Structure formats: structure tokens, C-alpha cells
Amino acid sequence: MIAFVVAVADRTRFDTIAGPAIERVREVDSVVLAVEGEEPVQHRLNAALGELAALPDLEAAVIVHEDVRLHDLATAAIVRAGFADPDVAVTGAIGYMDVHGLAAWEGVPVGATRTEHVPGGEIVGTVATGPVDALDGLVLCLSPWAVRTLRFDTSLAAEFHGYDVDLCFQARHHGRRVEVIELTTSHAHRPMFGDTERWARNELRFQGRWIEHRPITENRRRTLARAAEAASRPHA
């Protein structure tokens, strides 16, 4: 059984974007959890994973943003095939290699997704599928092992950003693989990024958890400098 999970912040967006798409691609026995509430997204998603972990017939959990459309009628079959190798823990539509921080998009892209907010209307990677360091959280597909083992880091909850990259690093820390599968998606996201300070504070948390003992590359040096500068600004 393939489950679908959406952390809903804007019910109208879910009802007009992700919800109808899930109804089109779900299988008869699929569980659909639209988790609402005032708690941070990490807490709500972890509660949903705890609920799904108890299901003996779970084959995968597909976590989708409320503003993402899944287009493949065979989505469940594609997701199921992505976990044919038990070493694969997390899959998605687009991800990145050479990731040194929360700004995963600075790495080498793999996969594709449609979005009207980039030139040409689509982000396209160098290859269509394959292993990555981290996935974009617009779609995160978790294997049964991942559902029962991994949880979104609640230390990042206050600032929101980076839960997707951190989860992928957790999976790889356990010796599992993170991969892009050929899943057709479109992302109707809002293009503006207006909370740099919050992102920066989580960037520093992430660096301390995963990367502080790695060699300082020039790319990472720039990331750290931007994060430190943003985090030092006064904030409410």
C-alpha cells in the first residue's frame, strides 16, 4: 500500500492543487493524510510517519507539498519500483549532488520538475535519475524502513527550512541511498524567499550537525559566510 502525506498550511491550495492530483494517481487502498494544525511541519509530519509506521502492508509514504501536482497515473507503481533495492531509503523528483549545506540547489541537479518561476518553466538536471546527496522536499518518497526509522529534525522546526536536506543526510548516515526517480511533477510555489535570517540560523545548525568536521571547500566557505552574516542581523 502506498500512502500520501501532505502538511497543509493553506487548505485552498491543497484543495485545488495537491489534493485533486493525489486523488487522480492514488490506488484504491492508498491512505491519504492531510495533516493540519498549528504545530510546525516537522512535528506534524513526524506524527503522520508514526501512524503509518504501524501499518504492516505499507510499501512507501509519499510526502508532497500542498502546491505540488503529481501527474503520472502510474505514480504508485513508479514509487514502488524505486524501492526495489532495499538499500534505497528516500526518493524524489529532483535532487542534487555535491551538497554542502541547506542551499542544495547550488549542487549538481538530477531529475526535473515543472515550475513557472524559472526560465523555460522547468528545472532540468544533468541526468534524469540516479543517486543524490539530497532531494528537494516538494516530493519525498520514503521506504518502509525510512518511515519506521527516520524522523524530521525538530531542532529545525522553529525556522522551518532544511527539513528535506537533513532527512536525506540522515538516510545516508545510516548507509542507505537517496535517489531521484522519473516522477513527473509541477510545483506551483510562491517565488519569493523573504526570510533569509531564519534560513541562515538553520544553515548554521545543519553545518554543526553534519558538516563541521569536513574540509572547507570554497563553495562551503561562501555558504557559511552568507549564513553567518544573515544570522547576525537583528530579528524579532
Domains and CATH numbers, the chain: 2-193 (3.90.550.10)
Neighbours of 32 (CB within 10 A): 15
Residue 212 DSSP code? T
Give the C-alpha separation, 150 to 207, whole Å: 19
Which pLDDT band holds residue 164 (cuts at 50, 70, 90)?
very high
Return the pLDDT at 236. Answer: 44
What is the pTM assigned to this prediction? 0.86
User: How open is the CA angle 199-163-220, to the nearest 5 degrees?
Assistant: 55
pLDDT beyond 90 at 198: no
Mean pLDDT of 159-181: 90
- What would the pLDDT profile of 21-35 be if each residue is shown by its tens digit? 999 999 999 999 999
- For 142-168, b/e burial (b = at least 16 CB within 10 A) is bbbbbbebbbbbeebbebebbbbbbbb
pLDDT beyond 90 at 79: yes
Neighbours of 124 (CB within 10 A): 15
Residue pair 4/79 in contact by the 8 Å Cβ criterion:
no
pLDDT beyond 60 at 215: no
Q: What mean pLDDT value characterizes the chain?
A: 86
Return phi, psi of residue 31, to 5°. Answer: -95, 135
pLDDT beyond 90 at 89: yes
In the chain, pLDDT over 70 holds for what percent of residues?
Answer: 83
Mean pLDDT of 70-91: 97
